[in-house]
Amino acid sequence: MRFNSKFWSPFAASILLLSVSCSNEKNVEEEVNTTFTGGKDEIKLITLDPGHFHAHLVVKSMYDQVDPKIFVYAPDGPELTSYLKSVESYNTREEDPTSWELEVYKGDDYLQKMLSEKKGNVMLTAGNNKEKTANIKATIEAGINVLADKPMAIDAAGFETLKEAFELAEKNDVLLFDIMTERFEISTILQREFSLIPEVFGQMEKGTVENPAITKESIHHFYKQVAGKPLTRPGWFYDVNQQGNGIVDVTTHLVDLVQWESFPGKVINYETDIEMINAKRWTTDLTLEEFTSSTGLKEFPDYLQPVVSDGLLKVYGNGEINYKINGVHAKVSVIWNYKAPEGSADTHYSIMRGTKANLVIRQDAEEKYKPELYIEPVEGQDLAEFEENVTKQVKVLAATFKDLDVVKVEGKNSWRIIIPQAYRHGHEDHFREVTETYIKYLKEGKLPDWEVPNMLAKYYVTTQALELAK
């Protein structure tokens, strides 16, 4: 074995960057285990095309079950360089440093190389979405487990490919799972918990198109900070043919939460349980200066020229979906602005409407841009009795969520749940929690019975919404 400049990266101060010779020497690799017991280092991780920062957030932490050596396959370019720098920063940080070793292959044939070498048993992918679904299917077909960033499909054709990938996963006895970080947000967890308490919530309303039973709205920003540094986005992030429309991207999380909260543990059959109603999309317009600040690119690439008009880049980042799930009206919407106002960040709004109360998550200036959960009785409730029931049930939940409490909002018929700081994990921490959940499923050898059909239902909603919106 010798080093070859084709594979070598300068970012090797604390990461061991190994390379494989292009010569005819044959590498004899140990056979990789395909069954998991939860033992140390038995997960051999492959990272494929880490073009999105979510790829390095998964390895911001170490895991006992994951071998420190990660096999990276990617085209050469700034996205790979950024990934390597980020992992290096985790390895060299003062507090709780990681100790990852990266064996890197650079080349346009990165998928074929990964499949031919088959050095790992779990593939992580978070990057350009144009080829992601096909790459997932090819990896599953090769008998390798896949942990994929959302979205796993960005159009109707991709949904059909994803269906085939899940069929192959069952046939090949491997697990395909997507990274749903928002299931680990404490305000969302508690919203779900209270929706399961009839004494407080009652039963879920059916709702209407004008007034859905469950609404989720998300506001995101192109220019943002990640791991304490300004995020540099690749130019293709703004190309809906590569990243996907907003209506099939961030809404993946929102559609997932509608299912996860409203019908916990229940199988959703997209063919019988989902009814699409309407959808729309609209653009966020960016100046060249804003695009440059976000990407570092001095001009709009050729592939973006078709959506440049009067000097403005028009990105279909925004969308709204109205649909019914098991007869319940739901609405999800996503908005992308360029930059958050000073002191704010990405925000989330959610309401679940019950026959006794509404469960509302707000994350505005009043909440200092932290998600807070409010319980608000519907008209006709006896307020003294309602408050007694809420207080009682908070005490019950406090047995699980230590120091959970509640306070009445001054001047309003609204009670705010006091969430202890110990449960307020940041968005970046949720990637560790998702990965730990996936490791647990690998050890068990299966996903919960509802996960696969519900993933299919989720991507059916988003990809069909795009067809409606067009």
Q: Is 28 a residue whose pLDDT tops 90? A: no
Listed residue (122, 150, 152) closest to 135, CA to CA: 152
Structural domains for the chain: 17-127 (3.40.50.720), 183-469 (3.30.360.10)
231 falls in which pLDDT band (50, 70, 90)? confident
User: Which of 171-175, 190-194, 336-340 shows the lowest mean pLDDT across its residues?
Assistant: 336-340
Give the chain's length: 470
Give the span between the Cα atoms of 148 and 438, in whole angstroms. 11
User: For residue 342, what pLDDT is reported?
Assistant: 72
Nearest-CA neighbor of 74 among 156, 15, 131? 131
What local confidence, expressed as pLDDT, does residue 31 receive? 72
pLDDT at 30: 58
Per-residue confidence (pLDDT) for residue 24, from 0 to 100? 36
The answer on pLDDT for 217 being more than 50 is: yes
Q: Which of 5-14, 80-89, 196-205, 335-344 has the lowest mean pLDDT?
A: 5-14
Do 363 and 347 meet the contact criterion of CB atoms below 8 Å apart? yes
pLDDT at 227: 65
Structure tokens at 257: 């939460």
B/e letters for 117-152, b = 16+ CB within 10 Å, e = fewer, are: bbbbbbbbbbbbbbebbebbbbbbbebbbbbbbbbb
Amino acid occupying residue 123: M
**pLDDT of residue 32 exceeding 60:** yes
Residue 15 in this model has a pLDDT that exceeds 60: no
- How much of the chain, in percent, has pLDDT values that exceed 90? 86
- Look at residue 365 and tell me whether its pLDDT is greater than 90: no
**Residue 427: per-residue pLDDT:** 87
Chain segment 90-100, per-residue pLDDT in tens: 999 999 999 99
For the cut 90, the answer to whether the pLDDT of residue 228 exceeds it is no
Q: Residues 26-31: contacts with CB within 8 Å, 24+ apart?
A: 27/1, 27/117, 29/117, 29/119
> Mean pLDDT in the chain?
92
User: Residues 201-205: contacts with CB within 8 Å, 24+ apart?
Assistant: 201/352, 201/354, 201/355, 201/356, 201/357, 201/359, 202/354, 202/355, 202/356, 202/357, 203/354, 203/355, 204/262, 204/328, 204/352, 204/353, 204/354, 204/355, 205/328, 205/353, 205/354, 205/355
By the 10 Å C-beta count (0-12 exposed, 13-18 middle, 19+ buried), 284 is classed as buried
Confidence of residue 358 (pLDDT cuts 50, 70, 90): very high
What pLDDT, on a 0 to 100 scale, did the predictor assign at position 153? 97
Rounded to an integer, what distance in angstroms lies between the CA atom of residue 117 and that of residue 114?
5
pLDDT in tens, 404-434: 999 999 999 999 999 999 999 988 999 999 9
Find where tokens 């996963």 sit: 169
Is the pLDDT assigned to residue 165 strictly greater than 60? yes
Burial category of 318 from C-beta neighbours within 10 Å (exposed 0-12, middle 13-18, buried 19 and up): buried
- pLDDT value at position 209? 97
The SS3 of residue 405 is strand
Task: Indicate the pairing of strand 405-408 with strand 415-418.
Answer: antiparallel
Long-range Cβ contacts of 424-430 (<8 Å, 24+ apart): 424/186, 424/370, 425/184, 425/186, 427/181, 428/57, 428/60, 428/226, 428/227, 429/184, 430/181, 430/182, 430/184, 430/185
pLDDT reported for residue 219: 93
Which residues make Cβ contacts (< 8 Å) with residue 315, sequence separation at least 6? 238, 240, 283, 284, 285, 286, 307, 336
Whether the CB-CB separation of 217 and 332 falls below 8 Å is answered with yes
User: DSSP 3-state assignment of 155?
Assistant: coil
- The predicted structure's pLDDT at residue 300: 97
Least confident stretch, 24-28, 60-64, 209-213, 366-370? 24-28
Q: What is the pLDDT of residue 12?
A: 46
- Mean pLDDT over 314-318 rounds to 96
Q: Give the whole-angstrom CA distance, residue 344 versus residue 298.
A: 28
The C-alpha atoms of residue 186 and residue 401 are separated, in whole angstroms, by 10
Question: Is the pLDDT reported for residue 53 higher than 80?
Answer: yes
Token couple for 30: 């140990």
Tokens representing 428 are 């970046």
Higher local confidence (pLDDT), 201 or 6: 201
In this structure, of 16-30, 157-171, 371-385, the range with the lowest mean pLDDT score is 16-30
Integer Cα distance of 392 and 213 in angstroms: 25
